[in-house]
Amino acid sequence: MARIELSRLAHSYRPNPSGPADYALKEFDLTWDDGGAYALLGPSGCGKTTLLNIISGLLAASHGRVLFDGEDVTRLPPEARNIAQVFQFPVVYDSMTVRDNLAFPLKNRGVPADEIDRRVKEMAEMLEMTADLHKKAQGLTADAKQKISLGRGLVRADVNAILFDEPLTVIDPHLKWLLRSQLKHLHRRFAHTMIYVTHDQTEALTFADKVVVMYEGEVVQVGTPEELFQRPAHTFVGYFIGSPGMNVLPCRVDGAQATVGEHVVRLRGGYRALPQGAKTEIGVRPEFVTLSRGEGLPIQVERVDDTGRFRVVKARLDGLAFNALIPEGAEIPADGVRASFDPQATNLYVDDHLWPAEGEA
């Protein structure tokens, strides 16, 4: 178990990167606390797997350093880093039995036989594969193979960190939920540092204490699920987290109020000294929108989807797509609908990045 620090880390797959576009990972600093459960969230191709492979040592970063408990491991191979990693697609050793597969990482490290036996049994129980231990891995289903891969990742007790690269992609939904709670349980019991890559926000938010959101090779926010929801640091986070995502509306800002089109929106604090010529937008989550005939911004309702617990109103505001979440039973006016926002939950974005109000950090 270890604290993992990434210091001025960047990576380019090209030998001589010139512009930012050549970098798969743009320079950043990040610390993963010992024993933390992290999710690494982002769309496909944003650099999640690259980052994971740099931490595990499968890939040597082109720039910057990786430190485990303060010790520089940037140039160490994976076997010297004592790290476990589970991949997106199942990797099993076909010629071995399930038991030998699970024992393999332990055998390679010279763990005593009785200890191996104990841990393999424990792991098989957790994965509900005790009855399959003697079977050859080759004939098993994709589900079972991926469970073995997970088991091989989790079987070592003393690892510095366990990395999961979208490990549940091939697993059916019910089992997915089961395995995820098992992982959570294991994390509470052994307090390994766990990093879990996914592009599924539900998976990220249920697994992790802290979520690292990546977008186009950049780490755009690190925070608790709560923080990601309340104060998305980047318009992408607002859009990516939550369903439907945050409404982002272009505006002009004047002190404590913003003007969207012709209409004035109250903000939670004053804003001064905004950069000249920058793109300014307000972001408000559909959860904090109220609809009425009274005051607010006029919208044209296009569709109302009833999910059972609340209703999703899909509308247009000055031609832009706009969503609102309305509690079950609340009234939606038939015409002349206006939307107003909770000022506390209305964020200002300057060039896509969250801009603090005066007095905020």
Residues that bind other proteins (CB under 8 A): 53, 56-58, 77-79, 83-85, 87-89, 91, 93-96, 104-105, 108-109, 136, 138-139, 149, 152-153
**Tokens found for residue 13:** 């797959």
User: Among residues 165 and 281, whose Cβ is nearest to other proteins?
Assistant: 165
Question: Residue 80 — φ and ψ, nearest 5°?
Answer: -90, -10
The residues with which 316 forms a beta bridge, in sequence order, are 300, 321
User: Among residues 144 and 258, whose Cβ is nearest to other proteins?
Assistant: 144
User: Among residues 194 and 325, whose Cβ is nearest to other proteins?
Assistant: 194
User: Among residues 37 and 162, whose Cβ is nearest to other proteins?
Assistant: 162
Task: Decide: helix, strand or coil at residue 121.
Answer: helix
User: Among residues 103 and 317, whose Cβ is nearest to other proteins?
Assistant: 103
User: Among residues 32 and 104, whose Cβ is nearest to other proteins?
Assistant: 104
Q: Rounded to an integer, what distance in angstroms lies between the CA atom of residue 63 and that of residue 305?
A: 48
Work out how close the CB of 62 gets to other proteins at its nearest, in angstroms, rounded to a whole number. 18
Work out how close the CB of 263 gets to other proteins at its nearest, in angstroms, rounded to a whole number. 53
**Tokens found for residue 92:** 């099993």
Work out how close the CB of 171 gets to other proteins at its nearest, in angstroms, rounded to a whole number. 16
Report DSSP letters for 259-307, one per residue: EETTEEEEEEEEE--PPTT--EEEEE-GGGEEEESSSSEE-EEEEEEE-
User: Among residues 194 and 299, whose Cβ is nearest to other proteins?
Assistant: 194
Work out how close the CB of 326 gets to other proteins at its nearest, in angstroms, rounded to a whole number. 46
Q: Rounded to an integer, what distance in angstroms lies between the CA atom of residue 108 and that of residue 67?
A: 25
The residues with which 310 forms a beta bridge, in sequence order, are 327
CB atoms under 10 Å from CB of 62, counted, come to 17
Q: Rounded to an integer, what distance in angstroms lies between the CA atom of residue 341 and that of residue 113?
A: 64
Work out how close the CB of 139 gets to other proteins at its nearest, in angstroms, rounded to a whole number. 4
User: Among residues 159 and 299, whose Cβ is nearest to other proteins?
Assistant: 159
**Tokens found for residue 210:** 């802290």
User: Among residues 87 and 310, whose Cβ is nearest to other proteins?
Assistant: 87
Work out how close the CB of 160 gets to other proteins at its nearest, in angstroms, rounded to a whole number. 12
**Tokens found for residue 329:** 């039973």
Q: Rounded to an integer, what distance in angstroms lies between the CA atom of residue 279 and that of residue 176?
A: 41
Q: Rounded to an integer, what distance in angstroms lies between the CA atom of residue 29 and that of residue 20?
A: 17
Work out how close the CB of 11 gets to other proteins at its nearest, in angstroms, rounded to a whole number. 16
The structure tokens 């994390």 sit at 187
CA dist 266 → 99, 215, 297, 314, 343 (Å)? 63, 30, 12, 23, 6
Work out how close the CB of 54 gets to other proteins at its nearest, in angstroms, rounded to a whole number. 13
Do the beta carbons of residue 171 and residue 148 sit within 8 Å?
no
Work out how close the CB of 191 gets to other proteins at its nearest, in angstroms, rounded to a whole number. 21
